[in-house]
Amino acid sequence: MRSVLFLSAFALTALPLSAAATTYSTLDGTAPEVIAHRGASGYQPEHTLASYELAALMGADYIEPDVVITKDGVAIAMHDTTLTRTTNVEDVFPGRASYEASEFTLAEIRSLTVDITPAHQLSDSSIPGYVPSTGTPYLVPTLQEVVDFVIDFNAKNGTNIGLYPELKTADDALNRIIVETLIAAGFDGPEDKVFIQSFDLQTLQDVKAIQEELGSDIPQVALGAAQMVNGVAYLIRSLTEGTALDAIVDFVDAVGPSLLSLPALGIGVTQEYVDYAHNLDLLVHPYTFNTWDSDAAYSEFEPYFDMGIDGFFTNYTDVAIAAIETYGPEPSPVPLPATALLLLSGIGLIAMRRRG
C-alpha cells in the first residue's frame, strides 16, 4: 500500500499569513471558486484524465474540459481544434492533409498520446507519489468520460467537484451534445455545480435556446477581455468588437474576463468592473492564473481577492487553494481518504476536502 504524506499548505508555501482577511467581497460572500484550467495543467498533460484527477485530489471546485467534436460526431476534451500541439499525431499519422480534430474519428484520436506542453507547465512537472488511477490517463478523453470521472470521484471521496466545459467551436451538434450529456448526468442547474462557457455570444444564445427546449438551467459564462468605457463595462473579443454586460444578462450568468491589462485603453479586471458585473448579478471568473511560486502567486491573487472575484481559472490548483486559505476565513484543510493518495513535491501540494 502506498504511503500518503499530507502536507500543510501553510507550512509548505510560506505565504504571508498576516494578510488574512475577515470577509470575502464575492457576490455571495463565500470564498472564490477554484477552476482547474485544463485540469492540473501545470503538472500533468492538459485535458487528460490524469490532469483532471490530480486537480480533483488537490481540491479544485471545478475542472474545466474544453470540448471539440470528432469526424464521427463525438465530443472530446481538447483545447485546440487541431491535434498537433498536444498530441503525437504527426508521428502516428504522418502526411495527413489536415490535423484538425474534426477530420479524425474517435478511434484514430484514441490511438494518440497527449504530450506535456511546457508553455503551461514547470520544466520538471513530475509529482513524486502521484500515480493516476484511471486505466487510460494520457489518452484524449471523451466528454462522457470526463463527466463519468467527476461523478465517480465525488461518490468515492464525498466531494462536490463541478464541471465547467467550454465550447471551442460554433457547432450546432456540439452545442446539443454538451447540454444533453450534462443533463443526463444530473448536471442541469446551478445547484449541480456546472457552467457552460464560450467566447462566442451567438453560441451561448443557441445553447440557451437548447436549454429552454430541454428544461435545463445550466449557468452560462461569456469569455473575453474586460473593458470600462465611460463608466460602462464591456466584454470584448478584439479592440473593435465588444458588448456591454447589460446586453448579455438575459442569457449569461457570469463573465470570464482575461487577465490582460492595458490601462490606457481601459482594459483589465478592475474594482469598477467587478462592481459593475455584481450590480447586474453577474459572477466574475477571470482567467488564467499561471504562477507556481507561492509567494509570487499570493501577490498576484490578493488584489483580485480584494476586488471580490467569484472564481478563477488556474493551472496550479494547490497554490491557488493555499492562497485562498491564507487570505480569508476558510475551514482548515481536511485530507481526502488515504486511498485517494496524495503527495508531493516542494511546490506545496495538499489534498483537501473542499467546501460543498
**Domain span including residue 293:** 9-340
> If DSSP codes are grouped into helix, strand and coil, which group holds residue 243?
strand
pLDDT of residue 186: 97
pLDDT of residue 125: 59
Instruction: Quote the CA–CA distance of 132 and 49 in Å, as a whole number.
Output: 8
Query: Pairing relation of β-strands 220-229 and 232-238?
Result: antiparallel
pLDDT of residue 13: 33
Please report whether residue 347 resides in a domain.
no
Residue 37 phi/psi, 5-degree rounding, is: -70, 110
The structural domain count of the chain equals 1
pLDDT of residue 123: 54
pLDDT of residue 239: 77
Alpha carbon distances (Å) from 204 to 143, 171, 178:
18, 11, 12
pLDDT of residue 241: 85
Instruction: Quote the CA–CA distance of 148 and 186 in Å, as a whole number.
Output: 11
Query: Which residues make beta-bridge pairs with 225?
Result: 236
Q: Which residue has the cell 469569455?
A: 223
**CATH no. for residue 252?**
3.20.20.190
Please report whether residue 352 resides in a domain.
no
Closest CA to 167 of 141, 195, 192: 195
> If DSSP codes are grouped into helix, strand and coil, which group holds residue 341?
coil
pLDDT of residue 116: 80
Instruction: Quote the CA–CA distance of 116 and 114 in Å, as a whole number.
Output: 7
Please report whether residue 351 resides in a domain.
no
Threshold 0.75, pTM exceeds: yes
Please report whether residue 99 resides in a domain.
yes
pLDDT of residue 21: 46
Instruction: Quote the CA–CA distance of 318 and 288 in Å, as a whole number.
Output: 14
Q: 240 Cβ partners below 8 Å, 6+ apart?
A: none
Torsion sign (Cα): 76, 78, 81, 87: negative
Please report whether residue 254 resides in a domain.
yes
Torsion sign (Cα): 194, 307, 52, 223: positive
What residues of the chain score a pLDDT lower than 50?
Answer: 1-21, 330-356
Please report whether residue 135 resides in a domain.
yes
pLDDT of residue 117: 73
Instruction: Quote the CA–CA distance of 133 and 356 in Å, as a whole number.
Output: 24
How does DSSP assign 11-38, residue by residue? HHH---GGG--S---STTSSPPEEEEET
Contacts of range 276-282, beta carbons closer than 8 Å, 24 or more positions apart? 276/228, 276/232, 276/233, 276/245, 277/233, 277/245, 278/27, 278/308, 280/245, 280/246, 280/249, 281/27, 281/249, 282/245, 282/249, 282/252, 282/253, 282/254, 282/255
Please report whether residue 354 resides in a domain.
no
Instruction: Quote the CA–CA distance of 315 and 51 in Å, as a whole number.
Output: 10
Please report whether residue 115 resides in a domain.
yes
Is residue 209 a contact partner of residue 231, using CB atoms and an 8 Å limit?
A: no
